[in-house]
Amino acid sequence: MTTNKRATFGSKLGVILATVGCAVGLGNIWRFPYMVGANGGAAFILIYLVCILLLGIPVMITEFFIGRHSHRNAAGAFKVMAPGTKWSFIGYNGVLGAFLILGFYSVVSGWTLEYILQACTGSLAGKSAAEFTAEFETFSSGIFRPILWTALFIGMTHVIIMSGVKKGIERASKVMMPVLFLILCALCVRSVTLPDASEGLRFLLQPDFSKIRSSVVLSAMGQAFFSLSIGMGCLITYSSYFGKHTNLQTTAIQVTLLDTLVAVLAGIMIFPAVFSFGIAPTAGPELVFITLPNVFEQMPLGNLWSLVFFVLLALAALTSTISLHEVATAYMHEEWQMTRSRAAVYVSLGVLFFGSISSLSMGVLSEYTIGGLNFFDLLDYITAKIMLPLGGMLICLFVGQRVDKKILKAELTNEGTIPFYFFNTYAFFMKYLWPIAIGIIFLNELGLLRWLTGE
């Protein structure tokens, strides 16, 4: 049975590092660089930063408000704040979204462990680009090894979740996040010292405004939205562990800045190396598991740099799987009135089941598709393109339409003890502008915007 006493993070540093870990993941180190490469480099980053400022920070503050004000899990929060209404759908959408994301995210996370092992044993050495491609396809479509690594990664996540909020999530974040930043900085230094690295830096930092098109703007908006883990229940769940003296505004700004710093550093790590070895910056999603190992193996001590990189990738993945797992665990623990350990076991077993099917759908089950998508891609499509933007849009509408402005302001100013400049502007945008902006992202991700505009 649950108790009335709710766990909280033990320190300000714990709040920051745990919440940054919640936001930082493969989306920063994997998705952001290839999105930059596919959308013209520095011009995309400039628009991305504007979107972070105008959309990301305010919506993050809003999720923080919901979590701390309710002190409940993602689903329970809406039951407390709007009892007996259909607004609770938002919370259930977030919990289910987090669980389904884990169903395929844990598979990709497991791949990082395979590549760590290969780097340790020297198996990545002396291979051509074609060999990297062939071996990745053989491994990812296999039966036993990918599922084994998926199970191991879920097990690592499970151990941390079982340890609780302070002794598990907070303690792990205090270790993993500094190590992640140190490794990332070391790889950046190595990358910028390569021959012709300046070309990669120029691509990353010198905007070409002729590259800016409506599709680039919408892609930047979408990346800003997804990079901060908005709409999946993670931020609401983590902020429910914030203390009453936590400055929600400052915390949102600090978390967003650190999350963005990781993404930009990932670009600095990748593009100078890619340009140095004459590889197209538009390499796409295969950048991490095919292109970059090929790049590292052409460097002196290439195996060492591959090992360091995949350790970095595994750490980023683990911080995300912890936050996603916690969303579902906290929900079952509180709403189903079961012990935390039992809730964590049920979530882990469920994720392992979905993860196994996701992995097999890239091999022996690849012929079984829905709408042309295998199970892995289907989970990705449903969550990233439907559930998350829908959740983010409804969160804005809920706070803008349902919540009393006096309650909102009191929570965001810690009962008037800290200022909130331009609060009325924030409240107006939350009620009208941001739901529309996220709705546009929603339509674009589904491909409906191009259909409506005839592009």
365-411 residue pLDDT tens: 999 999 899 999 999 889 888 888 889 899 999 999 999 999 999 99
pLDDT at 452: 60
pLDDT at 454: 57
pLDDT at 282: 60
**Paired tokens of 37:** 């490469």
CA distance 418 to 403: 20
Instruction: Using DSSP, state whether 298 is helix, strand or coil.
Output: coil
**Paired tokens of 251:** 């915390």
Question: For residues 196 and 352, which has the higher predicted lDDT (pLDDT)?
Answer: 352
CA distance 441 to 218: 6
- In one-letter notation, the amino acid at residue 443 is L
pLDDT at 205: 84
Which residue ranges form the domains of the chain, and what is each CATH number? 12-379 (1.10.4160.10)
- Residue 213: which pLDDT band, with cuts at 50, 70 and 90? confident
CA dihedral 439, 444, 449, 455 (to 10 degrees): 160
Contact predicate 76/308, CB 8 Å = no
Interval 418-454: pLDDT, tens: 999 989 999 999 999 889 888 887 787 777 766 665 5
pLDDT at 286: 67
Interval 74-128: pLDDT, tens: 999 999 999 989 999 999 999 999 999 999 999 999 999 999 999 999 888 888 7
Interval 279-310: pLDDT, tens: 766 655 567 787 788 788 878 888 888 999 99
- Residue 204: which pLDDT band, with cuts at 50, 70 and 90? confident
- In one-letter notation, the amino acid at residue 377 is D
Its pTM stands at: 0.92
CA distance 234 to 226: 12
The DSSP call for residue 5 is: P
Q: With a cut of 60, say whether residue 4 has pLDDT above it.
A: no
Interval 240-260: pLDDT, tens: 999 999 999 999 999 999 999
CA distance 239 to 68: 5
